[in-house]
Amino acid sequence: MERLYRLIPWVEDPFTAEGFKRYRDTISEFSVIVKHRWFSELVNRRRELRIIDLCSGTGIGGVALARVLMDLGVSVSLTLVDLRRDALDKAVEFGLRELGFRPQIMVRDILEEGLGLETGFDVSLIWGFTTPHFGPWDWVRVLSNVSRLLTGDGLFLYNESDRVYTIFYLKGYRDLLPEVVERDRVILTIHKGKDFRSGYIKRLVLNLVSREAEETKVYFWDLASSAAFTWIFFSDVDFIPTRGSHSGVVIARSPRRTLSLEALFREKPSILMHERL
């Protein structure tokens, strides 16, 4: 994962001008999100909130939400969870600068059952348009972990864009796509195949200058599909169109407690037992 993020041109370092601008833009977005009725009700019920940011990277999403809530007079604690230790170390430094305290960090794979974390969080978020990392079968496991981390009236937030509309309809899917073309860096992504049982599309990320390459797998969600999956695990789901009618934030409340969450990790469907690409 660390190698992949070195190749992919993703703005995530909050100590750069571009990264800090993304952080400020995220604050503006959360200033709208916290006005949603479910958020207002949660804040009115208690003025101390425990936040957990999953797949946090350098913590831009979690720190921005904490900052917005603190400016509203809410006392917050923040836990950041990611696979990459180097990103979390940067998140701690950034959180200390922006919030005045060090967020708690955990190196975990969100697809591991239970994550080995304490429960009772009020708000969970997955920020940074992260859902393409998870196909339908894995998204079920993500939602299982998210729902068990939250309180009975907790909220789950993730930003989402309808990629079926933007990639397949507006632009058209491309086998070869130039992601970055610069004097000292030329990065292409190349279609390699699709696993029709898992739903993942495989693409090769290639730096033509350094000749580094890394394979990645992605799933291009449409908005309705990821939200419908989320509704299975939560009593209600809504959409806040912060970036237009097809892009914004999915918000879910009150995890259902009637599902056998353990079975979703320990029982593997037969369709996934066959050899993949």
Token representation of residue 228: 């419908």
* Cβ–Cβ under 8 Å, residues 79 and 105: yes
Residue 277, pLDDT score: 47
Q: Which residues pair with 206 in a beta bridge?
A: 188, 213
State the DSSP code for 132: G
Note the Cα 34 to chain centre separation in Å: 18
Helix axes 17-33, 60-71, angle to 10 degrees: 50
Residue 12 burial (10 A CB sphere; 0-12, 13-18, 19+): buried
Residue 276, pLDDT score: 53
Q: Which residues of the chain have pLDDT under 50?
A: 277
Residue 2, pLDDT score: 66
Neighbours of 79 (CB within 10 A): 20
**Dist. CA 49–CA 109, nearest whole Å:** 24
Write the secondary structure of 38-103 as one string of H (helix), E (strand) and C (coil): HHHHHHHHCCEEEEEEECCCCCHHHHHHHHHHHHCCCEEEEEEEECCHHHHHHHHHHHHHHHCCCC
Residue 275, pLDDT score: 57
254: left (phi over 0), alpha (psi -120 to 50) or beta: left
Residue 258, pLDDT score: 83
Which structural domains are found in the chain, ordered by start?
Answer: 2-161+221-272 (3.40.50.150), 165-218 (no CATH)
Residue 159, pLDDT score: 96
Q: Which residues pair with 238 in a beta bridge?
A: 251
